[in-house]
Amino acid sequence: MPEQTRLLTPEAEHVTYAAMLLAQGRLVAMPTETVYGLAADARNSQAIAGIYAAKGRPSFNPLIVHAPDLAMAETIGVFHADARRLAETFWPGALTLVVPLRQDAGIASLVTAGLDTVAIRVPAHPVAQDLLHAFGGVVAAPSANPSGRISPTTAAHVMAGLDGKLAAILDAGPSPVGVESTILGWQDGTPVLLRPGGIPTEALAACLGQPLGVPFADPNRPAAPGMLASHYAPGASVRLNAETAGPDEFLIGFGPVAGDISLSPGGDLVEAAAHLFEALHRADASGRPIAVAPIPDHGLGMAINDRLRRAAAPR
Ligand code: TXA
Ligand code: MG
The reply to whether 220 falls in a domain is no
pLDDT at residue 176 greater than cutoff 50: yes
List b or e across 252-266, with b for residues whose CB sees 16 or more CB atoms inside 10 angstroms. Answer: bbbbebebbbbbbbe
For residues 200-221, give the mean pLDDT: 82
Distance separating alpha carbons of residues 264 and 23, to the nearest angstrom: 23
Same domain for 133 and 256, yes or no, is no
CATH classification of the domain holding 153: 3.90.870.10
Atom of ligand 1 nearest to the CA of 123: 7
Domain boundary among 157, 189, 208: 208
Which ranges in the chain belong to alpha helices (H)? 12-23, 45-55, 70-73, 81-90, 109-112, 126-135, 155-162, 201-208, 225-232, 269-285, 300-312
Query: Confidence band (pLDDT; 50, 70, 90) for 229?
Result: very low
pLDDT at residue 87 greater than cutoff 80: yes
For residues 288-308, give the mean pLDDT: 86
pTM of the predicted protein model: 0.82
**300 and 52 in contact (C-beta within 8 Å)?**
yes
Per-residue pLDDT, 303: 65
pLDDT at residue 95 greater than cutoff 90: yes
* Domain count for the chain: 2
**122 and 69 in contact (C-beta within 8 Å)?**
yes
The reply to whether 48 falls in a domain is yes
Residue with CA at minimum distance from ligand 1 atom 10? 142
The reply to whether 186 falls in a domain is yes
Which residues have C-beta under 5 Å from ligand 2, the single-atom ion?
Answer: 143
> Which ligand gives the minimal distance to the CA of 148?
2
Same domain for 200 and 258, yes or no, is no
Q: Which residue has the higher pLDDT, 117 or 306?
A: 117
Residue 192 Cα to ligand 2 midpoint, Å, equals 20
Q: Which domain holds residue 185?
A: 6-208
Determine what percent of the chain is predicted with pLDDT higher than 90. Answer: 68
SS3 8: strand
The reply to whether 176 falls in a domain is yes
Same domain for 192 and 261, yes or no, is no
For residues 186-215, give the mean pLDDT: 91
Query: Confidence band (pLDDT; 50, 70, 90) for 1?
Result: low
Same domain for 10 and 54, yes or no, is yes
Residue with CA at minimum distance from ligand 1 atom 7? 37
Per-residue pLDDT, 14: 98
Same domain for 97 and 56, yes or no, is yes
| CA geometry: angle 241, 305, 98, nearest 5 deg | 145
**247 and 260 in contact (C-beta within 8 Å)?**
no
Same domain for 139 and 271, yes or no, is no
Distance separating alpha carbons of residues 109 and 107, to the nearest angstrom: 6
Determine what percent of the chain is predicted with pLDDT higher than 70. Answer: 93
Per-residue pLDDT, 220: 46
For residues 8-36, give the mean pLDDT: 97
9 Cβ inside 6 Å of ligand 1: no
Same domain for 13 and 92, yes or no, is yes
pLDDT mean across residues, the chain: 90
141 Cβ inside 6 Å of ligand 1: yes
Query: Confidence band (pLDDT; 50, 70, 90) for 126?
Result: very high
Q: Which residue has the higher pLDDT, 282 or 122?
A: 122
Atom of ligand 1 nearest to the CA of 221: 21
pLDDT at residue 4 greater than cutoff 70: yes
pLDDT at residue 230 greater than cutoff 70: no
pLDDT at residue 227 greater than cutoff 70: no
Same domain for 60 and 168, yes or no, is yes
Most confident among 52-56, 150-154, 263-267 (mean pLDDT): 263-267
Residue with CA at minimum distance from ligand 1 atom 32? 222
Residue 292 Cα to ligand 2 midpoint, Å, equals 30
Same domain for 181 and 266, yes or no, is no
> Which ligand gives the minimal distance to the CA of 98?
1
Same domain for 183 and 245, yes or no, is no
The reply to whether 87 falls in a domain is yes
For residues 26-35, give the mean pLDDT: 96
Per-residue pLDDT, 66: 98
CATH classification of the domain holding 255: 3.40.50.11030
Query: Which of 64, 112, 192, 227 to mutate for ligand 1's pocket (most ligand atoms within 8 Å of CB)?
Result: 64
Same domain for 277 and 166, yes or no, is no
Query: Confidence band (pLDDT; 50, 70, 90) for 129?
Result: very high
Same domain for 152 and 278, yes or no, is no
